Structure 1
Amino acid sequence: MERSRSLLHVMYMWFFSRMRKPMTLRSRLILWNVVVLVLAFLVLGVSVYLLMTYYLQSDLDKRLTVEGDRLQSTTSIWLAVGNPFDSNLFDRLARTDQGDEFTSDPTYIKLFDIESGRTLRRSPNLGQERLASSSQELDAALRGEEIFKTYRNSGGEQVRMLTIPLRDDNGHVVLVAQVGQSLKEVEQVRTWLATFLIVGSICTALIAYTISFLLTTRELKPLRVLSTTMSNLSAQGLGTRLASKGQTTEVRLLTKAFNQMMERLEASFSLQRNFVADVSHELRTPLTSIRGEIDVLLLNPELGKGVREDILAVRTELERLSRLVRNLLLTARAEVGVLPQPPQQVQEAELDILLIELTHQARFLNQQVNVELEELEQCCVYGDADLLRQLFLNILDNAMTYTRCGGSVRLQLRCTEDAPVEVRRKRAETVTQWAEVTISDTGPGIAPDDLPHIFERHFRGVHTPHTTLRSKLGSGLGLSIALLIAESHGGTITVDSELGKGSQFHVWLPACETLMAARVQK
C-alpha cells in the first residue's frame, strides 16, 4: 500500500507539472489516455492486492481455527475416557503435524496454566523461538473468548496467533492454548503481487503511450495537413482545397469550413486585383496626359517669367502626386499579393548601372542637395529592375528630403560575404555573396525612439529636430514600400543613424554569383 501511494504521488506531481507547460494537442491526448488507463489499472491492482491480502489472512485464520478445534477435541476425548489431567495430555496436545509437500508451514502450539499463566508445554518446532503473549489475552481466553493477533518473533518474522480456551466435558476451562503460523509465505505473496502490479502499471503505461501515439498521429494527420497548408498560405495559393473523404466528422466539418473560407478569400483577392489594375490604369492615364500638356506649354518661348515659374511649380506638384499615386498603388499591389515572384524566377539586374542612372535622375529632383556616387563595384542580383529602381529611389528621395540645402547624399555599392547576423537570419537558405547598397545623408539623423518604426506605413517621426516643408508634405509610404520590395527579393534593409550627423540606409540583396564572376572575368 505504501508503494502504491508513493507511485500515485509521483504520477500526480509529474502529470500536473506537465499540464502546466504548453503542449501540443497530440501530447495532451496521449497524456490523458495514458493517465486514465494507468489510474484504472492502479485502482484494479490495489483492489486485487487488498482482496488477495484479505483472502490469504482469512485462509490462515481458518487453518488456525481448525487446529484449535483439533486441540479441543483431543482434550475432550482424553478427559472423557477417564485419563488423568497430567503431562501426558500436555505432550499429546503439543505434538503437531510438521507438514508435508502440500503444507510446508508448521503450526506452533503453546499451553498455559490457567492459575499461574506459566507455559506448560511448547511444540517441538518452536525450539528456542519465543512468541509474545499477554495477560489480557489469557484473561480473555478464561472468559471463553477466542483472540486472533499478529506478533513479531525474535527473528523479526510476523506470526499469526490464535488464543483459545480448552474445556472439559462440563464446560470448565482447564487450559489456555495458543496456536500460530508464520506469515512469511503470505508476505512473499503480497510482495510478489505488489511488484507485479507496479511493473504491470509501468508496462501498461508504455504500451498505452505507444498505442495512443500511433492512433493520435493517424487521427490528427488531417489537422497537421490543414495547419501546414494555412502556414504556407499566400496570395498565389488561394486556389488550394483540401479533400474531406475518409475523415472524422469534426475534421470533415473543419475542412469544409476551411475550403469555404478559401473560396471567399480567393473571390475577395480577385476583386482587389481587378480594382488595383483598374485604378492603376485610370489614375496614371490622366496624370501622364496632364504632364504631357505641361511639357508642351513649357516649350513655348513666349511664356512670361512669372507664368513659366507657375507652370514649373505645377509640374513639381504633379511629379509629387505621381510619386504618391505610384506608392499607393505599389502598396495596394503588395497587400493583395501581386508583387513579383521570388528573385530566382525573374531577370538579372545590374545594380551598378542602375545606381548610375538613379544618380543622374536624382540630381534633378533637388538641385540644392549634392548627390555623389562613391565606391561602385560590379554587382548583379536576381530581381525586377523597375521595382529595384523604385526601392532605391524611395530611399534616395527620403534622404534628399531630410537633407538641408548644401548638404550631400552619397551612394555606395559593394559585394561582400560579411552580412550582419539579422540579415542572414532572415534567409532560409545559405547566401554566400551579398550586394550592399549604402545611401548616406548629412541630414539631422533619426531619433532612437523613432528608429524602430520608420518602416511602418504612414509613420512620421516626431522626435526629429529638423523638418522641411517638403517632408511635411510626404505620405509616409516610401520606406515601407522599399522594405516590401527588398523582402520580396530575399533581402532586407538596415539603418544606422545618429542625431546631428545623418543616417545610413543599407540595402542587402542576395548577389547573383555566376553572373558576377562572368562580368569580373570579362
Structure 2
Amino acid sequence: MNIAKKITLLFAILSAIIISLLSGFVWYFSNEFAFEDFYKRLEARVNITAQIRLSEDKSDNIYAKVRNQYLERLPDEKEFVIEKRELDKNTINSDLPEGFFNTINAGKVARHRKENQFYAGKSFISNQKTYIIIVSANDPVGFRELKDLQKILIAGFFLSVVLSFVVGWKFSNYMLNPLRNVIKSVKKIKAENLHLRLDVKQGTDEMSQLAQTFNNMLNRLETAFETQNNFISNASHELRTPLTIISGEVELAMRAETDIKKQQKALTKIKDEAERLEHILTSLLGLAQSGFNGKNQPWEQVRVDELIWEVQQTVNQVHPESKIEVDFSILPEDESLITIKANKNLLKLAITNIVSNACKYSNNKTVFITLLSKLNVISIAVKDQGIGIPQGDVQHVFEPFYRASNTSQFKGYGVGLPLSLNIIRLHRGSIGVSSQEQIGTEIKVLLPLK
C-alpha cells in the first residue's frame, strides 16, 4: 500500500471516529433534553390535578372549567389520583419501576419514560391523607423528532466518512505530488549525468529541504566521482612510470650478460624504482584509509600543543637538518581551549606531512609553527621561506599526485597534502594555502573545538 492510500485510509478512520463521537454526544444530549419541556408540562398538570381533585373550594370548579377550556389535553393523557394506603401500581401500569414510587414517597417529583409513554408523579397531603397523583401522556412530536435526528446522524455519519475519504485522497495526492516529482527527477539522474540537479522552490518547508538535501548529496557524489576518476588516472600514470623503467632496465640487464657494471647499474636502477613504487603504493593506501568515516578508529582528547611538539620531534628525526620554531606565546591558560577530540595518529600524520613539506621545499630554512585558539576554533599556521607555489598551481596542490611546476628538483609523489586534506576534513576542519613564488608558503589548518 502506497503512502497516499495509507494517508487517505488513516484520514478516513480518524474522521469516522471524530464524527461518531460528535454524533454520540449530539444524540446523548438531545435524548436527555428533548423531553424536558414535555416533562415540565406533565408536572404542571400534576399540580393542576391536585388543585382540582383534592380541594373543596368552589372556586376550584371554575378553575377546572378554565383548565379544560384553555389548557390543551396531551395525546393519550391520563390522570391517576390514589390514596397512598390504597396504592396498587397495577391499577396504573405494571411496568412502572419501584424507584419511581420510591422517589414519590421521598417527597420528590418522579419521572419515567417507556418508549413514547411519559409519566410524572408527586405526593400531596389533603385532609390528613396522603395522595399520589400521576399524569401520563404521549409525546409523538418529540419522539418523532428524536427518530428523525437519529436518521440524520446516521446518514450524516456515512456521508461524512465518504466525503472525508474523497477529501483525504485529494489532500494526500496534493501533498505528495512534490515528493513524486522529486522521485521522478532522482530516477533520471545516473552516473553519466550527475551534473543534473533538482528544482528547489523558495521556502523552508520539508519538500524544499528534501530537494536541497538531495542536491547537496549529488554535489558530494559528483565531487567523489570526479576525484575518483582523477585519482585512478593519476595513480595509473604514476604506477606505469616506474614499472616501465623497471621493464626497460631488466631488458638492458639481460642483454649485457658479460658486462657486470651495466648489470649492476641496471639492478640498482630497478631497486630504486621498486622502492619508489613501494612508496607510491604506501601513499595510495594512506589516501584510501583516510577516506573512512572515523567510526572504526580510536578517538580521544588531544592537546594540540603537545601534538605540535611530537610533530616537531618526528620531522627532526626524519630530517635532522631541518629548523622548526614553535610559537605558543598567545595560547590561552585554559587547556580545554586547546584540546579537541581527534584521531591522534591520523592528525599527527596530517600535520607532519605539512611541516615536512615546508622543511623540504625551503631547503631547510627556518619553518615557523604558530598555534592560536579563538572563537571555538584552533588555528595551526605553518609558514616557510621556500620556493613558494606558482599562482596557477595553488588550486591543484590538493589533487592526488599533482606536483607544482617548480618542484622537479625535489623528490616527492604529490600525495602528502591530499592525504592531510582528507584527514583534516575527517576532523571537520579546513586547510587554507597562501603562497608567493620565491618568497614562501603559509598553510593554515583550522580545527573546531567541538
Q: Please give the TM-score of this superposition, normalised by the length of structure 2.
A: 0.46
Identify which of structures 1 and 2 has the higher relative contact order when contacts are C-alpha pairs closer than 8 Å and 6+ apart. Answer: 2
Q: Please give the TM-score of this superposition, normalised by the length of structure 1.
A: 0.41
